Chains A and B, each alone.
Chain A
Amino acid sequence: GAVVSQHPSWVICKSGTSVKIECRSLDFQATTMFWYRQFPKQSLMLMATSNEGSKATYEQGVEKDKFLINHASLTLSTLTVTSAHPEDSSFYICSARDFRGGDTIYFGEGSWLTVV
């Protein structure tokens, strides 16, 4: 399958600071990427759809000014958690849509964020 990579794998930041997570499609171009968050023992929750060259589409209840998404190229989307608080600590996962040979979504390895 296609390869999607996230960086960093884990990050610890102080409360009130901002942290950026990168999502890259390594072997294909992705016009559409998705961002999820997952709390312990819960399922993945879709946060937003990231579209290359346009504004992201946020799910209901997700603050767009807090979770900034930028999809400036066909292989990179970034999620910036602004003014992070401890309740933002979570597992953040991105995925990318691969249209080669059909339409399949592949996920990155995930990024653990801990806000202290």
Chain B
Amino acid sequence: NAGVTQTPKFQVLKTGQSMTLQCAQDMNHNSMYWYRQDPGMGLRLIYYSASEGTTDKGEVPNGYNVSRLNKREFSLRLESAAPSQTSVYFCASTGGGTEQYFGPGTRLTVT
């Protein structure tokens, strides 16, 4: 039981490049989330998926797209990376009113 896993752990991109952050959970949770964490800003919700087949925007969705591939997997895509997207990205999941479990994070730098 690995919980929530994220790949990659670290990534450096040049402005304008694209990439996809992968997240998977093995707890049979319905809901999955993508957050970004920046110094002095706390954790902010980018997108979430309340159940398989649905996705909704959070507080800071601009510049990102998501795909809920199946119940286990929820990916985050940056189509054209910008320096403002330099951050630590966390994926999380929850199963109906219970605690949220977080992945270890992806540290992204955009130069």
Q: Do A and B bind each other?
A: no
